[in-house]
A = this chain, B = another copy of it.
Amino acid sequence: MSVTTPRGFRSSGVAAGLKSTGRPDVAVVVNDGPDHHAAAVFTANRVAAAPVYWSRQVIADGRADAVVLNSGGANACTGAPGFQDTHATAEHAAEQLGVSATDILVCSTGLIGERLPMEQLLTGVRSAAETLADDGGQAAAEAIMTTDSVAKTASFTDGRYAIGGMAKGAGMLAPGLATMLAVLTTDAVLPAEDLDRYLREAVRTTFNRTDSDGCMSTNDTVILMSSGASGAVPEAGAFQEGLRSVCADLARQLIGDAEGAGHDIAIEVVHAASEEDAEEVGRAVARSNLFKTAIFGRDPNWGRVLSAVGTTQAAFEPDRLDVAINGVQICRGGGIGDPRDLVDLAAREVHVLIDLHAGQDAATIWTNDLTHDYVHENSAYSS
């Protein structure tokens, strides 16, 4: 269950010395075809990394033959020299793989504002190209980890075709229109336009509703490639749902491994006037440091939920708001509901249900609590 689960893909992961720990830091995923269709979505951050600028150009024609990914350095805010580094990486990979550099997507992740050590990186790319394997998905997933504690992979199969994926991300986890680093593969027969449409829809309700710490990365990239190697033309609804399930699985793994988190929190907003309203309300609560510290302290402080809801433009009447935490209706009609001490917040997963009583739409935003370990991890180390 990884990017090599679908037929037509090989991948690898090697240690090139970009990480001071000596752990794997360069991955390559190759699409051997027969199709080489691809789509991608990128960070909405206007301060985008060099590989994002490069990959946006590569994906424009809907074709990609391979993805080169490195951890140990984001290559963001590195100016023209940083862009040349990305270009050189693609050229080097192209040479090894016998394809065109303009069909090679590049992703980087790590510290912003440092140049990549190019000699080590290019040596790593060569080594990764030489070790590509049909079962290399796990190795690739390990090589893209930064502060992740586990490699994240997922897959879906419907018998005729498969969808596989990997993702990394444990901090700076709040995508805007795009999301964290993820590569998805399928052996279904699908043109690039369809891949693009399916990918945007799947990302919209999965990665884009993952908001661990409200901070949007400069490097977020999600790539979907199809090899057509199964020969199967999928039914649209089934493929969309399969892709969504793989994205949701990976997004859930990201939240479950977020830096320093003690709780994974699903903020479900129901009876909203629109899906946008539901998402805005969920995100406002997900970004409230006071709410997040309360959950860390196992305090079902619904006042902090309502004060966050009140900052939004969503349609609702303050005196009709209901809030339940882990099944206990602690706020009813905008006021005091059942006793706070009925709420059990010991388990890692927390469910906050906000009923706006304003319509029929809903959305769930996933976030984490704000803990001492989050502060420690993000103050003690540059990342």
Q: Does the CB pair A77–B335 fall under 8 Å? A: yes
Q: Which residues of B contact A311 (CB under 8 A)?
A: 44-46, 176, 216
A102 is an interface residue with CB less than 8 A from chain B = no
| Cα–Cα distance between A306 and B172 once the two chains are bound (Å) | 13
CA distance A213 to B308 in the complex (A): 12
**Residues 36-47 of chain A: 1 if any B CB is under 8 Å from the residue's CB, otherwise 0?**
000000001111
Which of A84-92, A154-162, A180-188, A292-300 makes up part of the contact surface?
Answer: A292-300
Contacts A289-B370, A306-B47, A380-B297 known; A79 to B113 CB distance under 8 Å?
no
How many copies altogether?
A: 2
Please tell me if A5 contacts chain B, counting CB pairs below 8 Å: no
Question: Are A215 and B288 closer than 8 Å at their CB atoms?
Answer: yes
Given contact pairs A376-B372, A378-B289, A216 touches B79 in the complex (Cβ within 8 A): no
A95–B309 alpha-carbon span in the complex (Å)? 37
Q: Is A74 an interface residue (CB 8 A)?
A: yes
Interface residues of A (CB under 8 A from B): 44-48, 74, 76-79, 81-82, 111-115, 171-172, 176, 213-218, 287-290, 293-294, 296-297, 299, 301-304, 306-312, 316, 318-319, 321, 331, 333-336, 370-372, 374-376, 378-382
A-B contact pairs, 7 of them (CB 8 A): A44-B311, A46-B309, A79-B335, A79-B336, A171-B290, A216-B310, A294-B382
Q: Are A112 and B287 also in contact (CB < 8 A) when A378-B294, A380-B297 are? A: no
Q: Are A112 and B289 also in contact (CB < 8 A) when A215-B308, A296-B375, A375-B370 are?
A: no
Name the CB-closest residue of B to A290: B215
Q: Closest chain B residue to A176 by CB distance? A: B311
Chain B positions within 8 Å of A310 at CB level? 45-48, 216, 218
A375 cross-chain contacts in B, Cβ below 8 A: 293, 296, 370-372, 374-375
From B44, B77, B78, B296, contact of A379 by CB (8 A): B296
**How far is B78's CA from A48's CA once the two chains are assembled, in angstroms?**
46
